[in-house]
Amino acid sequence: MHTSQAAAHAASTQDSARSAGWELRFAAITDIGLRRTVNQDVYLLYPSHRLYAVADGMGGHEGGELAATLAIETLAAYFNEVGDMIESTPQDRRSLQHNLVAGIKFANAAVYQEAAERGAHRGMGTTLVALTFDETRAYWAHVGDSRLYRLRQGRLERLTRDHSLLEETLERHNITSSDAAEFIANFPYKHVLTRAVGSQYCVDVSVAFSPLEPGDIFLATTDGVHNALSDDELASVLRGHADDLSAACQAIAQLTLSRGAPDNLTALLVETHTPGR
């Protein structure tokens, strides 16, 4: 298992693992950005349990860092307890999806309790997006505005919808893509989340799954990345570095930094290959 926070500079890692009939190649990078004094982003690489996650903490200088770290550690600990029981039958597939949700709910309880016990950190919380696999499918769950994308046959698709006031307003008023840019530019509450891990006693977790195809590349990002880069730019970087996930992570970080990087930034990539290819 590998988790990472970067105190001042970029941290990246790359590796691969044989798991559930697929070779999963993965890489991740995190950077404090150019304006923050602490990195409140945390990522998780846990190949032995096919678990990958990104969190973006909030709640003050120490609160956000604590919330993101505690959420990631609690999710990993839960999968460590139940992961060996996950097999490949249809019933176990349902269990795998259930375990993603349960792990995030345990993380929510851990962060909420920690905040309650530490008066100075009351109200702290974190986003969390998590990804796992069996022999035929990818499963993901998320809370907040950290995102999951998938590049398949050169086309990038966003798999999650932000739990934010902005996203909900766009959907509620059926604002089309042609009008969205102007609306977003003038929307005064861009960074207000409607859900976060640990901010309330209970949390509603969004969960989904999809069949796998060879060569699928999954990208998890915090808003420090996707607020700076468009989906087209992310797709271009991934297509240009499809054979080197570490280079893709570095390219995403460098492009984000070139845009001023006012926030912490984190990108995590997982690519699926059939063994021997």
With contact defined as beta carbons under 8 Å apart, do 270 and 28 qualify? no
- pTM passes above 0.85: yes
Span of 58-62, 71-75, 119-123, 228-232 with lowest mean pLDDT: 119-123
Predicted local distance difference test score (pLDDT) of residue 58: 92
What's the confidence (pLDDT) of residue 8? 37
pLDDT in tens, 120-163: 667 799 999 999 998 899 999 999 999 999 999 999 999 999 99
- Of 18-22, 63-67, 237-241, 247-251, give the lowest mean pLDDT range: 18-22
CA–CA gap between residue 100 and residue 206 (Å, rounded): 10
Domains along the sequence of the chain with CATH: 25-273 (3.60.40.10)
The alpha-helical segments, DSSP class H, found in the chain are 60-82, 90-117, 165-172, 177-186, 223-226, 231-240, 245-258
d(CA 193, CA 181): 19
Over residues 39-51, the pLDDT tens digits come to 999 999 999 999 9
